[in-house]
């Protein structure tokens, strides 16, 4: 892989002198969906698949980027002094946004870079291909220009770029899980204060299987920002009757006690998901720590039902994958992962049932939906690295 990347870089940019190779993982969230911008807990892990890059310094203020996944777009040039997104190629806005965020947050970039990327993560799949590219770009800038930043600060810069340059009001989970990933561990993160614990992800004779609906979704154009606004409205109304800073501050019993303050029934359902999902995540981590995969899987199932019924971010394709997964013997739990509206499901499957799971779910999905799903059996990886 590394040799092919360097060869490709030389073909695109003229030569491969003074280059380095980098990698940043994707991530999957095992449970705790749409809680990260509601002050709740999340439980993601980094993956062993992600985004590779070959990069080198430039002597001017141009950021020149090329994607092996979209070679037809050619080299895209962006000035480091640009203040707005590039209309010609959406993907290039992620490295451009990170460069903008570095400068906006007081980390001047003296020069630009040439960067070739090759992503293993399907775009718009819910596995954070965009956050992987954001963290990777920040990691490269930090390395090439000796900028003093922690990995956690890189995550925050990536989130800032996504919020204020790209225009998606995402929480911190994606960038944090990628920047702070640890092999064979998931991250139990309290998004209210960014306190976290690494939890060993010991799945005895079980595997994590991702299933891609192959229904892409564009977060900027989806109802993601609408859901966040609905939760903000619910929080404001709840704050008239109880002193809380976020929906994540409430237990289920407290929410039931105060929910009458929310004037709209749909908004109340959005808030109920945020509160109940947060508590499910806490219980799920306890179950995993006790090696109770059955209980963990049941909580995953409950999470999907809440995302389907209260938060309404699943859709026919995701529901079909999950419902077919539940029918297969050897599946501990299955749920949508990511923002929803398409993308992927995550399932915990007994190791000896993985092949049957992929076969049965794949056949049923194609029969019902009309196109195929893609499956990935993944391992838990670490954070961003410099490979050479």
Catalytic residue numbers? 174
- 76 phi and psi, to 5 degrees? -110, 125
CB 365 within 8 A of CB 375: no
- 336 phi and psi, to 5 degrees? -70, 155
Q: How far apart are CA 81 and CA 159, in angstroms?
A: 20
Instruction: Please give the radius of gyration of the chain, using alpha carbons only, rounded to the nearest integer.
Output: 21
Running DSSP on this structure, what letter comes out for residue 122?
A: P
Dihedral sign of CA atoms 95, 338, 151, 164 in order: positive
Q: How far apart are CA 112 and CA 128, in angstroms?
A: 25
Q: How far apart are CA 304 and CA 80, in angstroms?
A: 42
Q: How far apart are CA 208 and CA 346, in angstroms?
A: 7
What CA–CA distances, in Å, run from 167 to 8, 82, 94, 231?
32, 16, 11, 18
Residues contacting 209, CB < 8 A, separation 6+:
346, 347, 348, 349, 354, 357, 358, 375, 376, 377, 378
Dihedral sign of CA atoms 268, 271, 277, 283 in order: negative
Structure tokens at 33: 């969906």
CB 76 within 8 A of CB 92: yes
Q: Is 370 helix (H, G, I), strand (E, B) or coil?
A: coil
């Amino acid at each position: 892989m590394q040799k092919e990347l360097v060869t490709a870089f030389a073909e695109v940019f003229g030569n491969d002198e003074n280059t380095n190779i980098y990698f940043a993982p994707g991530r999957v969230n095992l449970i705790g969906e749409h809680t990260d911008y509601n002050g709740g807990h999340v439980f993601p892990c980094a993956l062993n698949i992600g985004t590779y890059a070959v990069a080198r310094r430039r002597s001017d203020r141009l950021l020149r980027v090329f994607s092996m996944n979209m070679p037809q777009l050619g080299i895209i040039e962006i000035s480091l002094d640009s203040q707005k997104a590039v209309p010609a190629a959406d993907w290039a806005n992620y490295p451009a946004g990170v460069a903008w965020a570095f400068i906006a947050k007081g980390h001047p970039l003296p020069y630009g870079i040439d960067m070739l990327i090759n992503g293993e993560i399907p775009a718009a799949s819910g596995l954070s291909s965009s956050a992987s590219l954001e963290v990777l770009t920040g990691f490269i800038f930090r390395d090439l220009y000796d900028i003093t930043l922690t990995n956690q600060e890189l995550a925050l810069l990536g989130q800032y770029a996504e919020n204020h340059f790209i225009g998606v009001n995402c929480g911190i989970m994606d960038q944090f899980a990628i920047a702070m990933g640890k092999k064979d561990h998931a991250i139990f993160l309290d998004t209210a204060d960014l306190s976290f614990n690494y939890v060993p992800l010991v799945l005895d004779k079980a595997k994590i299987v991702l299933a891609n609906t192959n229904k892409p979704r564009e977060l900027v154009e989806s109802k993601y920002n609408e859901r966040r606004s609905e939760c903000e409205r619910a929080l404001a109304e709840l704050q008239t009757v109880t002193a809380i800073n976020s929906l994540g501050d409430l237990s289920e019993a407290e929410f039931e006690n105060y929910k009458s303050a929310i004037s709209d029934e749909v908004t109340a359902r959005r808030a109920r998901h945020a509160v109940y999902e947060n508590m499910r995540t806490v219980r799920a981590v306890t179950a995993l720590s006790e090696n109770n995969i059955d209980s963990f899987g049941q909580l995953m199932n409950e999470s999907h039902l809440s995302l389907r019924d209260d938060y309404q971010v699943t859709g026919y394709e995701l529901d079909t994958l999950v419902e077919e997964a539940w029918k297969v013997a050897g599946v501990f739990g299955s749920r949508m992962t990511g923002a929803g509206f398409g993308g992927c499901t995550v399932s915990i499957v007994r190791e000896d049932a993985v092949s049957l799971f992929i076969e049965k779910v794949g056949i049923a999905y194609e029969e019902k939906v009309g196109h195929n799903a893609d499956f990935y059996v993944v391992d838990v990886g670490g954070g961003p690295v410099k490979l050479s």
